[in-house]
Amino acid sequence: MKIILTSIGTQGDIEPFLAIGKMLKGKGHQVICAFSEQYKELTENCDIEFASLGKKIDDLLESDASRTAMGGGSGIKKFIAFIKLARIQKAPNKEKEVKLYDLIEKEKPDRIVYHSKNIYPLLWEYKNSGKTIFISPFPYLHYVKGHPFLVFNSKNYGEYFNKLTFKLYDFGVVTSSIIAKKWLQINDKISRKQLKNIIHNRKFIYTISPSLFPQPTYWKSNVKILGHQELKRKTNWKPEMELTEFIEKHEKIIFITFGSMTNPEPQQKTNLILEILERNKIPAIINTASGGLIKPDKFNSALICFVSQIPYDWIFPKMYAVIHHGGAGTTHLAVKYGCATMIIPHIIDQFVWDNIIFEMGLGPKGVNLSKLSSKNLEPKILELLNNRSFKEKSTQIGNQMKKEDFKDELYKTIIE
């Protein structure tokens, strides 16, 4: 088969698609991955054909408004940033949908595997029933008792209002589909009811470990939870001697990263964390990654080690605990390798993962990045290190995750 996989967003949105793409290519299928321009090199390093959805969506994600909306500032600043994003996102979204439409019309694939931020595959499903597969690394896109839809999932609003949030989601997706249909000049008469029917009956795979998010028995058979899809990359990465010596020197190290998330105040956030670590003599490895944290000119190098990139499957087994932004991939790997975990959520799904980690006893309740202070963060870090049950529970769940293998079912769901 010829299969197009398409996703938009941060690296955590892209990696599950590349992992699935490598699996499909290994089975002999022709695979094309359609992402924004910034993921060209990552895709080609996986020996997968790349198709560009343009640069405008990358520029939008790197904008000051996006940094504020995703990373910090007061509630008012965030609200203004979201308003600005809503105003300037039309051109980037239109560009990616047009490029995706052109690619699909040209390649005429047998299957399309897609992400929530790509709209055209849902319209394509109208004439190609059963040939699209929706992939989500985020929970709560289907009703779960006691929980509202993903973006509202900070608390239980009661069954009536929880279900209402999923109806709001349906309305939003249908409306976005109608807008995309106009952009693409598609003449097919597709009603809102028909679009809603596609949303509810399409093949849907959660790339989430059931050890963290068990599948409810009352879900329809077209929806499946088929485990985290970890991307195994080819890499020439080797640890520097300074890093290996640091790890050998300390027994109980915290790894800290904000992954691909950025924020308007990386220096301030880094200094706040460093002050707590140095005051309590806590050894830590800090990953500057995409710039959410930065390496200062002066710091206690005997206690703190900075890195700019590092394979998580190499470093996490060597760590006692991980403090991170709460991306789906980082959350899974931290638990898989038995690390006590605390999340400093930035946006949407990261607050959900924070709740899951806390409720499962894998770590303390995290602190919203925009509300971060020494007063509220310091006791959380000390609890993370001193409550042995977090480490024990994470090791237990991690061992369960290591035994999970859904590759055959994942493959059959896509192909059949």
CA distance 293 to 7: 26
> Do 260 and 329 contact (CB within 8 A), yes or no?
no
The gap between the terminal CA atoms of the chain, to the nearest Å, is 11
Burial (CB count <10 Å: 0-12, 13-18, 19+), residue 404: middle
> Do 212 and 225 contact (CB within 8 A), yes or no?
no
Structure tokens at 323: 């403090």
Query: Which parts of 73-186 fold into alpha helices (H)?
Result: 75-88, 90-107, 120-124, 159-183
CA distance 156 to 7: 30
Q: What is the dihedral of CA 255, 344, 273, 361, to 10 degrees?
A: -60
Tell me the C-alpha to C-alpha distance, in Å, between residue 52 and each of 7, 80, 222. Answer: 11, 30, 30
Q: What is the dihedral of CA 402, 403, 408, 414, to 10 degrees?
A: -50
Structure tokens at 49: 């054909």
CA distance 384 to 331: 15
pLDDT of residue 263: 82
pLDDT of residue 89: 74
> Do 393 and 338 contact (CB within 8 A), yes or no?
no
pLDDT of residue 237: 86
pLDDT of residue 11: 85
> Do 273 and 303 contact (CB within 8 A), yes or no?
no
Angle, CA of 45, 48 and 51, to the nearest 5°: 105
Structure tokens at 354: 């924070």
Helix 64-71 / helix 75-88 crossing angle, nearest 10 deg: 140
pLDDT (tens place) for every residue of the chain, 416 residues total: 999 999 998 888 899 999 999 999 999 999 999 999 999 999 999 999 999 999 888 777 666 666 665 655 555 665 666 666 666 778 888 899 999 999 999 999 999 999 988 999 999 999 999 999 999 999 999 999 999 999 887 789 999 999 999 999 999 999 999 999 999 999 989 999 999 999 999 999 999 999 999 999 999 999 999 999 998 877 778 999 999 999 999 999 999 999 988 888 899 999 999 999 999 999 999 999 888 999 999 999 999 999 998 999 999 999 999 999 999 999 999 999 999 999 999 888 999 999 999 999 999 999 999 889 999 999 999 999 999 999 999 999 999 999 999 999 999 999 99
pLDDT of residue 76: 66
Which of 328, 113, 100 shows the shortest CA–CA distance to 203? 113
- Dihedral sign computed on CA atoms, order 136, 233, 96, 89: positive
pLDDT of residue 86: 63
pLDDT of residue 112: 98
CA distance 294 to 308: 9
> Do 212 and 397 contact (CB within 8 A), yes or no?
yes
Helix 192-201 / helix 159-183 crossing angle, nearest 10 deg: 120
CA distance 87 to 85: 5
Q: What is the dihedral of CA 145, 148, 149, 154, to 10 degrees?
A: -130
Structure tokens at 107: 């390649």
> Do 286 and 306 contact (CB within 8 A), yes or no?
yes
Q: Within its chain, how far is the Cα of 409 from the centroid?
A: 22
User: E strand or H helix at 224, and its extent?
Assistant: strand 223-225
- Kindly report the pTM of this predicted structure: 0.91
Structure tokens at 158: 């009661």
Contacts of 302 (CB under 8 A, 6+ apart): none
